[in-house]
Amino acid sequence: GFNRVRIPYHPVAGKNGKGRPGVPLPQGIFEFKSRETRLHGWLLREVYHTDTIRSMSVVSLVIPLYNEEKNAENVLTDIINAFRARHIQLTVIAVQNGSTDATPEVLSRIARDNPEVLVVAVPANRGYGYGIRQGLAAAKGDIVGYVDGDGQVAPGDVARVAEGVLRGARAA
């Protein structure tokens, strides 16, 4: 499937007290908690991470757009902002799916202003599924998904599901 998790292997992790040799050190931003106790007059602080809340993984989100000149800008910027708010690294693959309106120009402008947007052009519309497949072929993320380009799915919901996948939730 498309849900791959990379945890690097560090054979020298034991140097400088940063872990045991051969123990993989996870990448990402973690939520940390600490607990203090006293033992024989010493103050001990135990620090541990409770959950990985952000991964260094990249989410690739394919969004096919056919004659969506009126919706494209709002849909893409809302998705981008929802992922930015959750600090999730995102690549949007905006598939210009053979549109006959101004959608190609709108997508070009959005891609120019947002480095996380990649436009895949399909010269003639060959159907919704074909557009999605073309976008999936261009996706390089560790986690890959797609969403309709007409704004029917709330961007916050898409980002919440992606965050659940990054956390390792079975059902987000």
What pLDDT digit, counting tens, does each position of 80-125 carry? 999 999 999 999 999 999 999 999 999 999 999 999 999 999 999 9
What tokens does 114 get?
């947002």
The identity of residue 66, as a single letter, is Y
User: Positive or negative, the Cα torsion across 127, 128, 131, 136?
Assistant: negative
What pLDDT digit, counting tens, does each position of 4-33 carry? 333 333 333 334 444 444 444 344 434 444
Rg, the chain, Cα only: 21
Whole-model pTM: value is 0.67
Q: Which has the closest alpha carbon to 58: 94, 22, 83?
A: 83
